[in-house]
Structure formats: structure tokens, C-alpha cells
Amino acid sequence: MEPDTVTVIDASSDVEGKLTGKDARILGRFKGEIALSGRLFMGEGSRVEAKVVADAAEIGGNYKGELNVRSLILLDKGRAEGVLDAKTLAVREGAQINGSINAGQAAAGGHGHAAAPPAGGILGR
């Protein structure tokens, strides 16, 4: 991410509304709608309650809402609740998900089956 194209909401901020742009880094609180052409990064300790459309998302804080992305990574301290729609999904050990998950080709608008998790699974351990 280039510094001049990143919107940053720092850890002491509490924002409500609609965020549009290329990339965003949220370290504080945000409530509303997010529409990005690039990547959403949520740092540890962040809290987001929003409808999100972006190319990619990396969640290290608490997310609640409807998420539609091509690539989703839930970091070890990440928490996600709601409807998650992603073509690719990675869940690090320690992350928590509660809600509906649509991952794989079907998430991208195709008519295939959702991709199977790698050997050993990515969720239930």
C-alpha cells in the first residue's frame, strides 16, 4: 500500500458513515459502509460494524456485518461475525468466526462448489 492512497482511522478514532477509496487501515472504531477498490486492513483492537465491499480484507480486530471480498484473511486475534463472502479464505489459529461463510468459486459469482479446506481443515481446530 502506498501512503498517499491509504485512508487511516487511528486507534483513538470513532467514525460513523460511508468510507470509499482504494485502501484503508482501521485501527479504531468504524460503523457504516465501506467500499474499497483495494485492501481493508483491520488492526488488533479495531472494531468495525459495517457492510464492506473490497478486493481484499485482513481482519485482526472485531468485525460484524456483511463482507464481500475476493480474498479474506482472519488473523490470530481476528473475530468475524455475520455474512462473509470471499473467493479465498485463510483463517489463522486463534481466529473466531460466527455466521455464514461462502468461500470458493460460488463466492465469486460462479456456479461451482465452494473450495474444500486444505488437509487438516482450517476451521474446527
Q: What is the pLDDT of residues 72-110, one digit of tens each?
A: 999 999 999 999 999 999 999 999 999 999 988 655 444
C-alpha cell at 39: 485492501
Helix, strand, coil percentages in the chain from 3-state DSSP, rounded to 5: 5, 60, 35
Backbone angles phi, psi at 43, to 5 degrees: -75, 165
20-63 pLDDT, tens digit each: 999 999 999 999 999 999 999 999 999 999 999 999 999 999 99
pTM across the whole model: 0.79
What's the gap between Cα 40 and its chain centre? Answer: 7
The domain segmentation of the chain, as residue ranges, is 3-105
